[in-house]
A and B are shown apart, each in its own frame.
Chain A
Amino acid sequence: MRETKGVSVSVSSAIERAVRVETKREPLPPRERLQQVFEIEDLSADYGSNPALKDVSMEVYKNLVTAVIGPSGCGKSTFIRCLNRMNDLVPGFRQTGTIRYHGQDIAAKDVDPVAVRRTIGMVFQRPNPFPKSIQDNVAWGLKVLGMKDNLPERVERALTQAALWDEVKDRLKVSALSLSGGQQQRLCIARAIAVEPDVVLMDEPASALDPIATQAIEQLLHELKSEYSFVIVTHNMQQAARVADMTAFFSISRGDEGERWGELIEYDATEKLFTAPSDKRTEDYVTGRFG
């Protein structure tokens, strides 16, 4: 078990956070000084006869927020789900290429996907709390993974980190389904980080939320990235611009026989990708001329 990381998290209400939205972006250190979490090489994936992704190669860096943007059908969800072997559950799914996580190829057949998912957590598009109490939602993963010592403290810490503690501390035994959508999603984030993952993958985590709840989630990413590395899929370019240090732009390519697949077009520091993209397709997309 990893030791608890000593980071104090300021406790203030979510509304307060949401109101003082600000995006301080310190300049990124040069890439060679960043520590790699993932090193993805020639990743291709298909669902049966439908190609989904072709030849994606990129790196994901530690303690950064990496955004994946692109139009619908560009394979960005498929991509992020490759990173913790969630696609194993999809019948007919196949992938080739390597995904090295701290040097180990986690795409290899002999790697236990359950162990991968314990280290690389996931938050989904729609808030999906279990039909259990707020407390049990966070505690469930801890119990399953055998992290049963100091359970209440772990639950409180995760809820505090997810900026939900103040709102729910008096009703931990109430059903999670009584929370609002934004609160549910923060609960799902708390559930994911409670088990102390190394990386948290987020598949359009705010797409089902209203703007205030969205800002609360974005604020969270800023505060938590010193402890975790985030990869976030979003169809919202402004969101990527606000939260991400690095941004990958995926697009759809078409073959001669009408087949379509997703491809990585450009990957760069967010600032650079949005202000001075080097590919015409990226420029068209970020300036809204796409399609």
Chain B
Amino acid sequence: MSTVGATGEAARRPFPGRRARLGDVLLQGVAGLAALGAFVLICLIAYKVVDGSRLSLSTFGLGFLRHVGWDPVHNRLGGASFLFGTAATSLGALLLATPLAFGIALYLTELAPRWIRGPVTALVETLAAIPSVVIGLWGVIVLGPVLRDHVMPALHSTLGFIPLLGTPSATGTGIFTATFVLTIMILPIVSSISCELFLGVPAELKEAALGLGATRWEMVRGVVVPYARGGVAAAMILGLGRAVGEAIAVAQVIGGVDNLVSWNLFNGGNTLAGKIALEFQSSTSSLETSSLFYLALILLVFSLVMNVFAQVVVRRVARRQGLVAR
């Protein structure tokens, strides 16, 4: 630096140099800590789950995933029935909820008169606000008996040749009932995300279609749905994530059968999340506790994979809608 005096320096440099501003520093610090906190939390949870399942991992290895049955007295524990229960109920719920949610979203965004939109949207959102234990209770007391007395026998007598629709359950609980309960639970999230997607379709594109003489249906099919399609896949994956992780309501209606993998959806079963939630308090041995951690590990890995997959899908679709032609 030269030895010119402060006044001369200021005269040649109209702007002061960079300096730290308290607000910026605080914001940086607080926000950075929060972000770091989330990261640390995930790592801690993952570590704890892996650590907890270590005993079970070394005892059963990957065979745990194939073994059907949960017999803590003889230390014969396996996760296959829970994996099956989780997959069957979640995929089933997704299968039922997606077209329904799609319909709801299309109706609310494109077809419904304005005065219907508000109330119906609010109702769908309210569905998401019902505590899952309440839906589960309703599932046991109302839905289960109705399905048992009317729906299951009808399905069995007409479509009974399909192995999935075997002998109806005597209690009304089971995979089938759990699937219905899960459908109700993921319907709001899938439909509200679908709504956002459809609303996100630029008005100019819709006008372009209508201006060409397309009908409303042709516009929806040709412009709105293709534009939103990739996002809908992501909405489905998020719904699936919710279904996979739901414990309480499912545990209430699925029947808690731990040693059965059956094609008949009317049979009882159990899910990963349901088993963990109900069994943790009553675990009798360290191996059983560790095996519950193993179940949690499976659930965790599955959820993480789903999440990453959803993001990949969204990004790929965004790119495709951008500059690469189909």
CB atoms of B204 and A126 under 8 A apart: yes
CB atoms of A144 and B212 under 8 A apart: yes
> Roughly how many angstroms separate A132 CA and B229 CA in the complex, as a whole number?
13
> Roughly how many angstroms separate A86 CA and B208 CA in the complex, as a whole number?
10
Which B residues touch A144, using CB under 8 A?
209, 212-214, 218, 222
For residue A192, CB closer than 8 A to chain B, the reply is: yes
Which A residues touch B223, using CB under 8 A?
130
> Roughly how many angstroms separate A114 CA and B324 CA in the complex, as a whole number?
31
CB atoms of B325 and A188 under 8 A apart: no
For residue A145, CB closer than 8 A to chain B, the reply is: yes
Chain B interface, DSSP helix/strand/loop, else mixed: helix
CB atoms of B207 and A86 under 8 A apart: yes
CB atoms of A117 and B211 under 8 A apart: yes
For residue B13, CB closer than 8 A to chain A, the reply is: no
For residue A152, CB closer than 8 A to chain B, the reply is: no
CB atoms of B211 and A140 under 8 A apart: no
CB atoms of B208 and A174 under 8 A apart: no
For residue A131, CB closer than 8 A to chain B, the reply is: yes
Which B residues touch A124, using CB under 8 A?
204, 207-208, 211
Nearest chain-A residue to B213 (Cβ)? A118
> Roughly how many angstroms separate A144 CA and B207 CA in the complex, as a whole number?
15
For residue A89, CB closer than 8 A to chain B, the reply is: yes
For residue B285, CB closer than 8 A to chain A, the reply is: no
The interface size bin for chain A is 20 to 34
Which residues 196-229 of B have a CB within 8 angstroms of A? Answer: 202, 204-205, 207-215, 218, 222-223, 226-227
Nearest chain-A residue to B206 (Cβ)? A89
Which A residues touch B324, using CB under 8 A?
175
> Roughly how many angstroms separate A132 CA and B325 CA in the complex, as a whole number?
6
The distance from the CB of A127 to the nearest CB of chain B, in whole angstroms, is 9
Knowing A131-B227, A177-B323 touch, does A86 contact B212 (C-beta < 8 A)? no
The distance from the CB of A25 to the nearest CB of chain B, in whole angstroms, is 29
Give me 9 other A-B pairs in contact (C-beta within 8 A), A117-B213, A129-B208, A133-B325 excluded. A115-B213, A117-B212, A122-B207, A126-B204, A131-B226, A132-B226, A141-B214, A144-B209, A173-B325
Which positions in B face A, CB cutoff 8 Å?
114, 202, 204-205, 207-215, 218, 222-223, 226-227, 321-326
21 A-B contacts, Cβ less than 8 Å apart?
A: A84-B211, A114-B210, A114-B214, A117-B210, A117-B213, A118-B212, A124-B207, A128-B205, A128-B207, A130-B209, A130-B223, A131-B205, A131-B227, A132-B226, A132-B325, A140-B222, A141-B214, A144-B218, A144-B222, A145-B212, A175-B324
Question: 6 closest Cβ contacts across the A-B interface?
Answer: A118-B213, A128-B204, A122-B211, A141-B212, A175-B325, A133-B325
Which positions in A face B, CB cutoff 8 Å?
84, 86, 89, 91, 114-115, 117-119, 121-122, 124, 126, 128-133, 140-141, 144-145, 173-175, 177-178, 188, 191-192, 195
